[in-house]
Amino acid sequence: MGSEQTVAVFGAYGHTGRFVVTELRDRGFVPLLLGRDAGRLQALAVSHPGLEHRVASADDPASLDRAVKGAAAVVNCAGPFASTAAPVIEAALRAGVPYVDVAAEIEANLDTFAHFTERARMAGVAVVPAMAFFGGLGDLLVTTAMGEWTAADEAHVAYGLSGWHPTAGTLASGTVSRERRHGRRVRYTGGRLEYHLDEGDLPTLEWTFPAPMGPRTVLGGFTMADVVTVPSHLSIPEVRTYMTTDAARDLAGPDTPAPAAVDALGRSAQTFTVDVIVRSGDVQRRVVASGQDIYAISAPLAVEAVHRILAGRTRTSGVASAGGIFDAPDFLRALSAHLSVVSSQ
């Protein structure tokens, strides 16, 4: 439990931020509501009586310092993370408290590893980027599949989403990433990240997900944050990610609505299956996770990370991905109320 430790949530009134605030309360933490919009913060505070809220902006370091004062940790839920990650990490380092974010932006996560690895290590502060559905969950699953292996030839992460109604934050972050890539696509191959120009459509293939999802058409080269998190600590020269074509079509659709709550927890009807396969020579291992609502599941992922960091249940300090800093199989078991995980090795 959280023992009533205060955890600052930047972007608390956003879609994922609201899930994180609720999860923190459920786990015994005291969320400290942060954001740049005073009106939205006040409205959120009304729905969570007794919680303090503070206005802060990523472009105002002094406001961030005031906002995180007294917090035991910071969770950043405010995208685009290309704009917010570095300033909030800086504030966390100045305060000497751990930082966790839910960034799915490949470039923002690369920036975190590139710019803060040495500084966070020297400060003895844990900085965990992409501690969410994209990047964090895939990394935990790949790490679990690896078991005692120290290296593998390939890792494949196939995302089977029943559909994808993106939030405004997802769309904004995607726009920023595309602008930073200047129209290029990205892949992880030959042990390094490559940007390349390719005007054609992404290739499609059939992926046989476990029942009940079964065979689905997926897009190859639909690259997600796993290409940053997995290679950050695992020796795998080929890391490939895939997305069901229906979900990709929803994401790109100009008229696709935002997610709508269908239960008391605020989750949408969206379901997901994440199918991970790692191969070393002729041996293949598989781990599959399934659950409901990719935004909702990011909350227990991020909050469990905070809990373990504050409890000292980590393997390292500094910047690290989920699989690099935590005991991946044990972490996944801790999420059994939210996530079904099946391993076949």
Q: Rounded CA gap, 74 and 60, in Å?
A: 16
Tell if the pTM clears 0.75, that is, is over it: yes
Confidence grade of residue 23 (pLDDT, cut at 50, 70, 90): very high
**Paired sense of beta strands 6-10 and 30-35, if any:** parallel
The yes-or-no verdict on residue 47 having pLDDT over 90 is: yes
Average pLDDT over residues 128-137: 98
Task: Please give the share of the chain, as a percent, with pLDDT higher than 70.
Answer: 99
Closest CA to 11 of 101, 92, 116, 99: 101
Q: Supply the pLDDT for residue 55.
A: 98
pLDDT in tens, 158-175: 999 999 999 999 999 999
Average pLDDT of the residues in 46-72: 97
The per-residue pLDDT for range 191-200, each reduced to its tens digit, is 999 999 877 8
The pLDDT, as a whole number, for residue 72 is 98
The per-residue pLDDT of the chain, averaged, comes to 96
What is the arithmetic mean of pLDDT over 240-269? 96
SS3 221: coil
As a whole number of angstroms, the distance between CA 159 and CA 239 comes to 14
pLDDT of residue 198: 78
- pLDDT of 345: 62
- The per-residue pLDDT for 250 is 96
Of 59, 54, 50, 40, nearest to 8 by C-alpha is 54
- pLDDT value at 123 more than 90: yes
Q: What is the pLDDT of residues 232-250, one digit of tens each?
A: 999 999 999 999 999 999 9
What pLDDT score does 183 carry?
83
pLDDT at 336: 98
Distances (CA, A) of 181 to 71, 178, 190: 35, 5, 20
The pLDDT assigned to 1 comes to 57
**Residue 99: pLDDT over 80:** yes
Beta bridge partners of 156: 240, 277
- Which range among 31-40, 183-192, 198-207 shows the weakest confidence by mean pLDDT? 198-207
Q: For each of the domains in the chain, give its residue range(s) and CATH number, in order of start.
A: 6-133+298-329 (3.40.50.720), 137-293+337-344 (3.30.360)
Q: Has residue 181 got a pLDDT over 80?
A: yes
State residue 207's pLDDT score: 98
DSSP assignment of 77-120, as one string? --S-HHHHHHHHHHHHHHHT--EEE----HHHHHHHHHHHHHHH
Q: In the structure, what pLDDT confidence band is assigned to residue 150 with cuts at 50, 70 and 90?
A: very high
Is residue 5 scored above 80 in pLDDT? yes
The model's pLDDT over 266-311, given as tens digits with 9 standing for 90+, comes to 999 999 999 999 999 999 999 999 999 999 999 999 999 999 999 9
